[in-house]
Amino acid sequence: MDELQFKKTVAENIARYRKAAGLTQGALAAKINYTDKSVSKWERADGMPDAYVLNEMAEIFGITINELISGEKNESTAKNVKKLSVKKKIIPLLSAGIVWLAAAIIFVGLEIAFDTFFKDIKIREWLVFIYAIPVSFIVLTVFACIWHGMAARCLAVSGIIWGLFTSVILSVPVNKIYLTVIIAAIFQVMTILWFYMRYRSRLQKAREKETADKAGAEEN
């Protein structure tokens, strides 16, 4: 296999495993601290990532570096990568579902207990489901930090903010609800700005890394 054919093989494998993993070029680029332009260039065989980046991508795809650069098409491996991608979507949802199942069990338990032993005491058992909203988003935030990018993390944290806001206004008598809304909105704006700054910082580091790699390649 000559150099050109090797580049084409690696390019095809990067594209194939990336798609099997359910990642866009931008999502993959963010995980390896490069820009989507670099990933696009590699998938066109206009350039080659170094050995360290190839190893990083192999770990992201859940394969060996040999499978990533091999000329043999391993369809079973691609299917396994796709299954892993599906698991990364299902497992967070199942975990959040467990939170709601726990809320349902607590709700039923409270209903039985207060109907049987504390008939004179009135409580709002349904608030258990309201409290489950921020808790489930906390769970989703954990998985977003492990497996997903900035957008998913920002959405998950936003869910925590508005879940807590809803819990407060429904649990505690608030005369001026708009003040609580303003506070929640301020936290929301701060969250968006923080994640945007993180994204810009990562993008800047990626560009600096690409420039340094390009300069090193030209020197060699």
Question: What does the pLDDT look like over 120-142, one tens digit per residue?
Answer: 777 788 899 999 999 999 999 99
What Cα–Cα distance (Å) separates residue 59 from each residue in 42, 54, 212?
Answer: 17, 9, 24
Rounded mean pLDDT of 178-182?
85
For the chain, the average pLDDT equals 84
Query: What are the boundaries of each domain within the chain?
Result: 3-73, 86-204
pLDDT digits (tens, 9 = 90+) for 88-101: 889 999 999 999 99
* Residue among 55, 48, 7 at smallest CA distance from 32: 55
Please give the single-letter amino acid code of residue 205: K
| Predicted pLDDT of residue 165 | 92
The dihedrals phi and psi of 142, each to the nearest 5 degrees, come to -60, -50
Rounded mean pLDDT of 19-33?
83
Please give the single-letter amino acid code of residue 12: E
The neighbour count for residue 51, using CB atoms within 10 Å, is 10
Residue 4's pLDDT band (boundaries 50, 70, 90)? confident
Q: Is the pLDDT of residue 60 over 80?
A: yes
The dihedrals phi and psi of 111, each to the nearest 5 degrees, come to -60, -50
What is the pTM (predicted TM-score) of this model?
Answer: 0.70
Q: Is the pLDDT of residue 217 over 60?
A: no
Rounded mean pLDDT of 111-122?
77
| CATH class, 3-73 region | mainly alpha
> What contacts 131, CB < 8 A, 6 or more positions away?
103, 167
Residue 71's pLDDT band (boundaries 50, 70, 90)? low
> What contacts 183, CB < 8 A, 6 or more positions away?
165
Could you tell me if 184 and 161 are in contact, meaning their C-beta atoms sit under 8 angstroms apart? yes
DSSP result, 118-155: -TT----TTHHHHHHHHHHHHHHHHHHHHH--HHHHHH
Cα-based angle 75, 78, 84 (whole degrees, multiple of 5): 145
